[in-house]
Amino acid sequence: MHDNVLAWLSGDLSPSARIWTALAPALLAIAYFLGGLLLFCIRCAIKGIPQDAETLTRGKSMLVGFFLRHYFFWVIQPLWRVLLRSGLPANSLSMLSGLLGVSSGVAVAAGRFTVGGWLFLLAGVLDVMDGRVARTRKEANPAGAALDSVLDRYVDSAMLMGLAWYYRDTWVLLPALGALLGSSLVPYVRAKGEGLGVSVRDGAMQRLERVLFLGVGTALSPILEALFWPEQKHPMHWLAVVGLVFVAVMSNVTAVARFRTLVRALTPKKPVQPRSGVALFGFNAAAGAIATAVDFVAVLGMVEWAGLSPVLATVAGCVLGGVVNYSINRIITFRSHGAVAPQLARYTVVSATSALLNAGGVALLTLHPQLSYTLVWWLVRGVVYFAWNLPLQRDYVFNDTSSDALLEQRPHAA
């Protein structure tokens, strides 16, 4: 018995022991939650779905819908009542959740994925409980809310830092860092929105989803490793990798979606919207494609038929392509009626800075030889187009409203 305990603490387990240490807690949890789901469905069929008031105030999520959330809070009622009657302060539950969460990161960094995964899930359950206990006892206050929110960030960061440390010599380090970025931005955008009077709570990857996918994937991953790769000293834990990559992608998608919603809500509404965003993108992209084709054909003709040097032909082709792109965007895409000279000046500024951004981005990313230069070229082009070219052409070059406003603010000669 003593040797078994030491082996479990040190992680020196046989393949079968690794399977059972990961699977035993999962079997107990699955039995409890599946039995609870059956009872919950029977209860819903007889009396309807029990509505959890706090769940209804939170944002929607396509991954864990309201039905599953109502079920989760219904099935953990026994644990919630025990904590409520224990008399433990809500802040102590927050602190315990923080300690368990940080411990999960330490365990994962050392390769103890089963221990780390279950500690992370338990920390998530306690995080759900602390606020409810405080509100039920009418002890909720801003200090407790701040403590809970900050500790949540520590828990998420500790888990992801532990995974990053474990995978530091593999490609999985990148999604671990991406998940750390996204998990920090999702609550930050929500908090920033609330500070500015805008509610942005929706999103596919909120904290409940992050805890669920990271915790379950990490806790159960040693089972697959023991079954298929029992001799590996530093296993990849592929189930944890899948959960980590999924959280990395979806948390950043959620952060960007919330950020977009926040900016749209705070942007002053224009009286007339001549085209939808999709139409603007389509026409603008088509204008760019036509201008590029004109540029290429012109260069080919000047070099092959007119005998011009490739350098001079390239310069002339760029100018011609720019004029074509400007004309199509002015007439068709943005339907602008502003003065041509100021627009051309602004268009030149945007085009020049776009060229610098594209060149700089390619130069930076090609410092990493493992990245294909063609992939780098398209990636940089896409980012600069969506982050710089399209917004500035819409809001700066062809924005007749702002141009008119500048003219009105300019003092007139007496």
Tell me the pLDDT of the chain averaged across its residues.
Answer: 80
Nearest to 246 by CA among 178, 185, 190: 178
Q: Which residues contact 198 (CB under 8 A, 6 or more apart)?
A: 261, 262, 265, 266
Model pLDDT, residue 12: 55
How do residues 280-326 score in pLDDT, each as one tens digit? 778 888 887 887 787 678 777 887 787 777 667 666 767 787 888 88
Residue with the two structure tokens 């919603």 = 261
Model pLDDT, residue 66: 67
> Measured between alpha carbons, how far apart are the two ends of the chain, in Å?
99
How do residues 59-112 score in pLDDT, each as one tens digit? 556 666 667 777 777 777 787 788 778 778 888 888 999 999 999 999 999 988
Residue 8 has pLDDT above 70, yes or no: no
Please tell me the distance from the alpha carbon of residue 220 to that of residue 213, in angstroms, as a whole number.
11
How do residues 244-266 score in pLDDT, each as one tens digit? 999 999 999 999 999 989 988 88
Question: Using 50, 70 and 90 to split pLDDT, how confident is the model at 363?
Answer: confident
Question: Using 50, 70 and 90 to split pLDDT, how confident is the model at 56?
Answer: low
Question: Using 50, 70 and 90 to split pLDDT, how confident is the model at 405?
Answer: very low
**Amino acid at position 375, single letter:** L
Model pLDDT, residue 232: 73
Model pLDDT, residue 300: 79
